Amino acid sequence: MSGGVVLQGLQTVLAVLAAPLLTGWTNQCRARLQGRRPPPLWQSYRVLHKLFLKETVLAKEASPLFQATPYVVFSCMVLAAGIVPMLANDLPFSPVADVIALVGIFALARVFLALAAMDVGTAFGTLGARREMLVAFLAEPALLMVFFTVSLISHSTQLPLMVHVLAHRKFAIYPSLAFAGVAFWMVSVAENARIPVDNPTTHLELTMIHEAMILEYSGRYLALIEWSVALKLFVYSALGIALFVPWGIAPVGDEAALPLALLALVAKMAVGGLVLAVLETLNAKMRLFRVPEFLGTAFLLAVLGMLIHFLLES
Amino acid sequence: MSEITGYQPVAMVWGGVLCWLALALLAIPLRAHKRWLLAGFPLAALTGLWVAAVGVAGLLLPASAQIVPVGFPGLPVHLRLDALSGFFLLLLGMGAFGVSVYARGYFQHMEIGELARLAIWYPAFLAAMTLVLLANDAYAFMVAWELMALSSYFLVTSDYRVEEIRKAGFLYLLMAHIGAVALLLCFGVLQGNGHTGDAAFTFSAMRHGVLTPTQASLAFLFALIGFGAKAGLVPLHVWLPEAHPAAPSPVSALMSGVMLKMALYGLLRVGFDLLSVRQEWWGVLVLVLGLMTALYGVIFAAVQSDIKRLLAWSSIENIGLIFTGLGLAIIFSVEGKSGLAALALTAVLYHALNHALFKSLLFVGTGSVLHASGTRLMSGLGGLMRKMPWTGWLMLLGVLAIAGLPPLNGFVSEWLLLQAFLFTPGLDLHYLNMMLPVATASVALVIALAAYVMVKFYGVVFLGQPRNPALKHAHEADIWQRMGMLWLASACVLLGLLPSAVIVLISPAVQQVAGRVLTNDGGWLVLAPMDAARASYAPLPFWLATLAVLLLVYGLVRFRYTGRVRRSAAWQCGFPAVTARMQDSAEGFGQPIQHIFSSFMQVDRQYPQPQDRTPHYASVSIDQWWHFLYLPIVAATNWLSQQTARLQHGRIQWYLTYSFITLLVLLVFVQ
């Protein structure tokens, strides 16, 4: 148990610290693919450091809710990182929240961010909040459906148990998992504000979603939000790895497997970041009203996965 | 379950009922004395606390019954307090306490005539709901039910000078009576066998009655129509978005938070207690109706621009979720999976209790907003967080709770409901196995959309800049109002943090209905229905961990980076001269929903003229049921009455002929 607590703390801290690295890696890959000279890998850390040191400018109208939101969002992401198995399956904190609660944690962070965006009362803030909630209400059910499909296979909504069952089953093709995996990819693209749903580097007023919400933030508040965005991408990637390619995550009580688990995690994250960069290079951002179609497809795929599970696998 | 007849907890409720009735009667002679009338509301609140306490006693003690010889000779009133009514008494008492404390502050600026009407009918309404929960025979039940409908009608129309309010009241009264007729028919089917005389109308006789499956189904369908009309089940929901905005806010809070749950109580009483055998298709029907209601409600909530109307539609959504769970419970109990039925029922009762608290909170909060700003329209609100910090923060709790976000109470019940859906595989009916994933998906969609609605509600009303310069003079709610809201908000927090304790508390009611309790595998800290390996959720450690991380991050950031914070004008991408009018309006925020779900609604748009200097765009989404169901019925009724009018000529010979023909026909039948 005490080993579990140490592992838990270690893994969470690792996720928090390593998250900007994944963003940096993805940016680097994308720059290479687009024929630009890539920024260094630790560029995201530099940006965070710079933002933390800068003076913070707050709008006159900003209420305490606006100031509290970056902290709330960041804490939510840290908590989410604490319950997703990344290195080891032995997480004493994980019974606190199962996978449905995980969706709830993400939703809590999102609602706070949307409310903060409406707080100052600028045109862009409310626009961003509305679009973000639009994407969210389409993506969240799809995400839940993905988790439900997987939980029907594993008979549990507890992430460590899900990973345990999925990693130790006999190797067989689960068509439902394939559908769920595709749907999960689409949802994570939308939830993390990546191309083709949103563009994290855009500041073109008409198209931005996430960036529009955080326009009024600066200094350390902006740093916290940027860090939580990186952490969110990291947690989503870890989640995808845990559910769809769980091999390598150290089982309970097996400390010897940890170095290998770390290696596997780094390798999988690197591949994931590369694939994300490739897809972002190949695709263009879609019109806002194409987004419901995109996420509707994800939702449909996830529901299909669940139906297929009932038809073929149960 | 044994029934005590000597010492009776049921008699303790009498204290509450008599108190409320006395307050109502005392208000008649005191109707000119504002101070006395206002003093009635704190007393009503205390009585609510007493009723809640008796409700807990009802949950913990064995059932007790009493026969009170009032009413018509030979028709005494049968009363009974068991775990199910105990649970709903608790819900009623908790809601009534918070709302009544609030009402003391809210009503004090009201003109005396309206205040007197409210002071008379408000306690009567509470007493009627208590009697509904206690009634143990069809007579008493119907009398209490009608008293509830009438008293709430008078409360809705307390400001009867406004034509819109009179119309809303009439619609409500009409729907209430269609429901009451269905209920009469339901009890008629239930009584007709075994017993004769006045004993046939008691619930204990109905429990032992033997019904054919057809009769049972008929009774259930009548009950579903009758209670569905009260609960606002689609398509019988039309009165809700009209009556709730028309009523004064504390009354809307009671009607939405508490009275809708009386319909749930009634359906549970008839479906699980009076009818001994259920059929699977009832469950499927309730499930489908519930899902339809939830989806329809939340979509329409998203496109409203009147705050109380938005909340009314959101009540329809929540009732839909509750009935979805109920349908699932019926399916499970018919299939003999009593453990799962207990899980679904726990979710249902938990959500009913939650909804009573957060919806009351939101309705009374909008009352304070209405007082402060004088408008219910979102286009004239905004930025109230700064003027009314108490209301703002307490409402934030309510909004987060109703949006189903951890660690508040709405999340717990929705989590339980989703868990109940996840346990469904392996039902005997195969088409159900196929249907339930789609149902699960719809529930997930409804929950996600509810968050959209609530961000819109809170963001437009409390955040941003005031959309109306008059809002500069908005004032904070007074101490009574704040205390009432504080009570409701703290209950939301407590119910969110201690789900295991709440589940133990409501387990006698679940036991009584489902025949089993929901076993919690996680101890008092962790909520783990049935099996800790399947799913668990522990809000208290969750909350503490969030708080710890939050403080840690705050401390680290503030300690490490001591850069100052400068206040300046909002940046807004460098655009100068941006006004409050450029924020999203309620219509704007709802536009994506209107666009995506355009097939559900008919939209009436008003575009500004090109030369208009202060252009305003407005859109009203019209409920399609009006066109498909209600207006045709109105047209048919009109046509029928016109045809009947042809018989009327005003000539005496024709009327004599009618009498003669009637006589002949009757003679034929008598022969």
Among the partner residues B406, B459, B564, nearest to A104 by beta-carbon distance: B406
The predicted pLDDT at position B4 comes to 45
A and B: number of Cβ contacts within 8 A: 258
Residues of A within 8 A of B463 (CB-CB) are 63, 65, 115, 118-119, 121
DSSP state of B537: B
Put simply, the answer to whether B403 touches A307 (Cβ < 8 Å) is no
A157 vs B contacts (CB less than 8 Å) = 419, 422, 534-535
Q: Which residue of A has its CA nearest to B432?
A: A310
A212 touches chain B (CB under 8 A): no
Whether B425 and chain A come into contact, CB under 8 Å, resolves to yes
In whole angstroms, give the CA distance from residue B194 to residue B204.
12
Check CB contact of B386 with chain A, cutoff 8 Å.
yes
What does the alpha-carbon distance between residue A128 and residue A35 come to, in Å, rounded to a whole number? 31
The answer to whether B248 touches B75, Cβ cutoff 8 Å, is no
Interface contact A157-B571, CB threshold 8 A: no
Mean pLDDT over residues A49-73, rounded?
A: 92
- Of the candidate ranges A204-218, B219-233, B609-623, the one whose mean pLDDT is the lowest: B609-623
Q: Is the pLDDT of residue B574 over 90?
A: no
Q: Lowest mean pLDDT: which of A70-84, B390-404, B621-635?
A: B621-635
Alpha helices (H) in B28-111, listed in sequence order: 34-60, 83-106
Share of chain B above pLDDT 90, in %: 60
For residue B178, what pLDDT is reported? Answer: 94
**The pLDDT of residue B482:** 96
Tens of pLDDT, residues B501-514 = 999 999 999 999 98
Which one is predicted more confidently, B182 or A5?
Answer: B182
Give the pLDDT confidence score for residue A2 in this predicted structure: 65
Q: What is the pLDDT of residue A179?
A: 93
Cα A203 to chain center, whole Å? Answer: 21
- Contact assessment for residue B187 and residue B142, using Cβ atoms and an 8 Å cutoff: yes
Q: Rounded to an integer, what distance in angstroms lies between the CA atom of residue B305 and that of residue B612?
A: 22
Instruction: With cut-offs at 50, 70 and 90, classify the pLDDT of residue B192.
Output: low
What pLDDT sits at residue B194?
60
Which residues in A lie closer than 8 A to residue B418 (C-beta atoms)? 100, 144
Q: What is the ipTM of this complex?
A: 0.95
What pLDDT sits at residue A105?
A: 94
The Cα B662–Cα B668 span in angstroms is 10
Q: What is the CA radius of gyration of chain A?
A: 19
More confident residue, B378 or A3: B378
Taking only the tens place, the pLDDT of each residue in B317-340 is 999 999 999 999 999 999 888 889
Rounded distance between C-alpha atoms, residue B205 and residue B591, angstroms:
54
A60, A78, A122 ranked by CB distance to B568: nearest: A60
**pLDDT recorded at residue B3:** 45
Contact B564 A75 (CB under 8 A): no
Place of tokens 């000279």: A37
The tens digit of pLDDT for each residue in B211-252 reads 889 999 999 999 999 999 999 998 999 999 999 999 999 999
What digits encode the pLDDT tens for the residues A242-259? 999 888 888 877 778 888
Higher pLDDT, B612 or B419: B419
With an 8 Å Cβ cutoff, are A115 and B459 in contact?
yes
Nearest to A145 among B386, B406, B444 (CB): B444
Q: What's the gap in Å between the CA of B466 and the closest CA on chain A?
A: 9
Only one residue has tokens 């944690």, namely A105
Percent of chain B with pLDDT over 70: 97
Euclidean distance between CA atoms B317 and A68, whole angstroms: 31
Nearest residue in A to B590, CA atom: A130
Interface mutation target, options B413, B536, B591, chain A, most CBs of A under 10 Å: B536
First to last CA, chain A: 35
The type of residue at B400 is L
pLDDT at B637: 93
* Terminal-residue alpha carbon distance, chain B: 52
* C-alpha A148 chain-centroid distance: 18
Residues of B in contact with A299 (CB under 8 A): 441
Note whether B251 and B152 are within 8 A (CB): yes
Residue A185 corresponds to which tokens in the numbers above?
């990819």
Query: What is d(CA B461, CA B380) in angstroms, rounded to the nearest whole number?
Result: 9
- Write the DSSP string, A189-224: HHHTT-TTT--TT---TTT-SHHHHTTT--HHHHHH
Provide the pLDDT for residue B561.
Answer: 80
Cβ atoms of A43 and A27 within 8 Å: the answer is yes
User: What's the confidence (pLDDT) of residue A116?
Assistant: 96
Nearest to B311 by CA among B251, B256, B237: B256
Segment A286-306 shows an average pLDDT of 90
From residue A286, alpha-carbon distances to A90, A140, A191, A211, B364 in Å are 41, 20, 15, 16, 43
Instruction: Please give, rounded to a whole number of angstroms, the shortest distance from the CA of B24 to a CA of chain A.
Output: 43
Could you tell me the pLDDT band of residue A297, with boundaries at 50, 70 and 90? Answer: very high
- Contact residues on chain B for A155, CB-CB shorter than 8 A: 534
Min mean pLDDT across A294-303, B213-222, B647-656 is at B647-656
Q: Please, which residues have CB within 8 angstroms of residue A73's CB and are 6 or more apart in sequence?
A: A109, A112, A113, A224, A225, A228
Mean pLDDT of chain A: 90
Residue A265 Cα, gap to closest chain B Cα (Å): 25
C-alpha closest to that of A181 among A268, A272, A99, A244 = A244
Distance of residue A47 Cα from the nearest chain B Cα, in angstroms: 15
Across B90-105, average pLDDT: 96
Closest-CA residue in chain B for A311? B434
β-pair partners for B377 = B306
Taking CB atoms and an 8 Å cutoff, what residues of chain A touch B542? 79, 96-97, 101
Does B415 contact A at CB distance below 8 Å? yes
Which range (A167-176, A279-288, B241-250) has the least confidence? A167-176
pLDDT for position B270 = 94
Output the pLDDT for position B425: 64
Q: Is A287 on the interface with B (CB under 8 A)?
A: no
pLDDT the model gives residue B438 = 84
Query: In this model, does residue B343 exceed pLDDT 70?
Result: yes
Inter-chain CB proximity A118 and B537 less than 8 Å: no
Question: Which of the residue ranges A90-99, B79-88, B300-309, B360-369 would you say has the lowest mean pLDDT?
Answer: A90-99
Report CA dihedral (A193, A198, A203, A207) to the nearest 10 degrees: -140
Q: Spell out a b/e string for B623-653, using b for 16 or more CB atoms within 10 Å of the CB, else e.
A: beeeeeeeeeeeeeeeeeeeeeeeeeeeeee
CB contact (8 A) between residue B553 and residue A105: no
> Are A308 and A186 a contacting pair, CB within 8 Å?
no
Please state the rounded mean pLDDT for residues B602-619: 81
What letter would DSSP give residue B614?
S
Residue of A nearest to B464 (CA): A121
Chain B positions touching A56 (Cβ under 8 A) are 563-566
Please state which of the ranges A139-153, A230-244, B190-204, B613-627 shows the lowest mean pLDDT: B190-204
User: For residue range B454-500, what is the model confidence (pLDDT) as tens digits?
Assistant: 999 999 999 999 988 888 888 899 999 999 999 999 999 999 999 99
Locate the domains of chain A by residue range: 2-313
Does residue B407 have a cis bond before it (omega within 30 degrees)? Answer: yes
Mean per-residue pLDDT of chain B: 90
B553: confidence class by pLDDT, cuts 50, 70, 90: very high
Give the relative orientation of helices B34-60 and B9-27 as an angle to the nearest 10 degrees: 170
Q: How far apart are CA B157 and CA B160, in angstroms?
A: 5
| CA separation, residue A146 to residues A273, B61, B324, B441 (Å) | 21, 44, 21, 10
DSSP string, B137-179: BHHHHHHHHHHHHHHHHHHHGGGTTSHHHHHHHHHHHHHHHHH
> What are the residues whose beta carbons fall under 8 Å from the beta carbon of B566, sequence distance 6 or more?
A55, A56, A57, A58
Nearest to B247 by CA among B402, B370, B98: B370
Mutation target for B interface from A54, A73, A130: give the one with most B CBs within 10 A.
A130
Alpha-carbon distance A314 to nearest alpha carbon in chain B (angstroms): 9
Q: Give A-chain residues touching B422 at CB under 8 angstroms.
A: 148, 151-152, 157
- Range with the poorest average pLDDT among A302-306, B409-413, B661-665: A302-306
Chain B contact for A13, CB < 8 A?
no
Smallest Cβ distance to A133: which of B425, B455, B541? Answer: B455
Q: How far is B449 from chain A (nearest CA, A)?
A: 5
Cβ pair A52:B533 closer than 8 A: no
Nearest C-alpha in A relative to B580: A121
Q: Note the pLDDT of residue B314.
A: 96
Look up the pTM and report it.
0.94
Chosen for mutation from A66, A94, A126 (greatest number of chain B CBs closer than 10 Å) is A126
Element containing residue A111 per DSSP (H, E): helix A99-119
Any A CB within 8 A of B499 CB:
no
pLDDT grade for A100, boundaries at 50, 70 and 90: very high
Strand partners, A69: none
Count of other CB atoms within 10 angstroms of residue B511: 18
CB contact under 8 A, A121 and B564: no
Element (H or E) spanning B603, and its range? Answer: strand B601-606
Interface contact B406-A215, CB threshold 8 A = no
Evaluate whether B295 touches B316 at the Cβ level (below 8 Å): no
Min Cα distance A253 → chain B (Å) is 18
Element (H, E) at B601: strand B601-606
Quick one: average pLDDT of B508-536? 85
Least confident piece of the model among A19-33, B370-384, B612-626? B612-626
pLDDT at A247: 85
Chain B within 8 Å of A291 (Cβ-Cβ)? no
Nearest CA in chain A to B411: A104
Residue B439 and residue B328: Cα distance in Å, rounded?
10
Assess A220–B contact: CB distance below 8 Å, yes or no.
yes
Q: Pairing between strand A56-59 and B565-568?
A: parallel
The mean per-residue pLDDT over the stretch A90-119 comes to 91
Cβ-based neighbour number of residue B50 at 10 Å: 17
* Residue linked to tokens 């009627």: B128
Inspect the interface and report whether the beta carbons of B400 and A108 lie closer than 8 Å: yes
Domain ranges of chain B: 597-608+615-647
Under an 8 A CB cutoff, do A158 and B405 touch?
A: no
Contact B546 A79 (CB under 8 A): yes
Average pLDDT rounded to a whole number, residues A106-123: 94
Q: What pLDDT score was predicted for residue A6?
A: 86
Select from B339, B241, B277 the least CA-distant residue to B626.
B241
Q: Provide mean pLDDT across the span A228-247.
A: 93
The Cα B31–Cα B150 span in angstroms is 20
What is residue B103's predicted lDDT score, i.e. its pLDDT? Answer: 96
For chain B, the residue count is: 671
Question: Which segments of chain A are extended strands (E)?
Answer: 56-59
Tell how strand B64-68 and strand B618-623 pair up.
unpaired
- For B665, half-sphere exposure in the C-beta direction (CA atoms, 13 angstrom radius) is 6
| B71 band by pLDDT with thresholds 50, 70 and 90 | confident
What's the pLDDT at B1?
37
Confidence of residue B646 (pLDDT cuts 50, 70, 90): confident
Interface of A with B in 143-202 (CB under 8 A): 144-145, 148, 151-152, 155-158, 161
Task: Enter the DSSP assignment of B110.
Answer: S
B105 vs B195, residue with greater confidence: B105
What's the average model confidence in pLDDT over B77-86?
92
